[in-house]
Chain A
């Protein structure tokens, strides 16, 4: 376990692991998303109150999950940057930020579109929505902050500090529906114990899109990290060899 973590800290090892995993990730992700989207849109039964509008949740719930998951991962990487000064952790944190921003946008937009016919409004300043919007600004703040530094090391430390400050908002989003009496409903339970909860016909497509989103996240993470590794390690022999090999035919 520790040896594996140690290896993961090596940019070259990370790059090569990404290279080996990408074909599998692509296959699994495209399969999961295709099944989940088609099933969710066409084969899951309509909700007895919301009709077909509820099909939006197959995008809303996974994107909300990514918004949280991305930030937790960035926070773990940030801790690794500050405590152990691991270069690779900063590369990964930088790679995750734009994915988190786009997931947050999809989550906000899908929630708004769902809200128009269901709540009669696309936006309301309730605790869940407001804290989620704040999270979007925190993500943007981290990206802008990084671009404000010339020195890579200062940028890494500043972004790590801001990420660790920003992570306090994630549990606030998580528990906002329990702490405050808000318009946004709490999480629905899956129909295993409780008869009023969602039956499998409804949640199985969400299972597919959920894991598909996770796969897509890892594809984006690997692709962006690999690019950053090539740039930062450009002076090393292995990157020179790789560039020479990839451009040999041209």
Chain B
């Protein structure tokens, strides 16, 4: 089994004095994760709302035309 490679949590954060290089990379990875999934998830809600509004407009148009006849 792999073992924890650091003596303490502080040593883990220090990354053998490479903290300023290692941690930003993993923060950028978190950003990469978020920018890959979050915009399309929020976009989907917006699209569903727009399409719903479009459907309602079409239905009310059809109802008006029905009254005209």
Contacts and interface: CB of A to CB of B under 8 A. Distances in A.
A72 B28 CA distance: 24
Nearest to B21: A113
Contacts of B29: 37, 59, 63, 106, 110
Given A46-B16, A59-B26, A106-B32, 13 more contacts: A44-B2, A44-B5, A51-B16, A52-B16, A55-B22, A109-B25, A113-B24, A114-B21, A116-B21, A201-B2, A234-B51, A247-B48, A247-B52
Contact of A59 (B25, B40, B43): B25
B22 A52 contact: yes
A244 B56 CA distance: 10
Interface string B14-48: 01111001101110110011011100110110011
Contacts of B26: 37, 41, 59
Contact of A231 (B18, B24, B47, B52): B47
A216 B33 contact: yes
Interface stretch (A73-81, A148-156, A218-226): A218-226
B25 to A, nearest CB: 4
A99 interface: yes
Contacts of A201: 2
Given A45-B5, A106-B32, A201-B2, A53 B40 contact: no
Interface of B: 2-6, 12, 15-18, 21-22, 24-26, 28-29, 32-33, 35-37, 40-41, 43-44, 47-49, 51-52, 54-55
Given A102-B35, A219-B36, A224-B40, A230 B51 contact: yes
Contact of A43 (B5, B37, B41, B48): B5
A52 B4 CA distance: 13
Contacts of B17: 51
A239 B2 contact: no
A140 interface: no
26 contacts: A37-B29, A39-B2, A42-B12, A43-B4, A45-B5, A46-B5, A51-B18, A52-B16, A52-B22, A98-B35, A102-B36, A106-B28, A106-B29, A110-B25, A113-B24, A201-B2, A216-B37, A223-B41, A223-B44, A226-B40, A230-B44, A230-B47, A234-B51, A234-B54, A240-B51, A246-B48
Interface residues of A, number: 47
A60 B28 CA distance: 11
A239 B55 CA distance: 11
A56 interface: yes
Contact of A102 (B22, B32, B43): B32
A114 B25 CA distance: 9
B44 A53 contact: no
B22 A53 contact: yes
Nearest to B14: A52
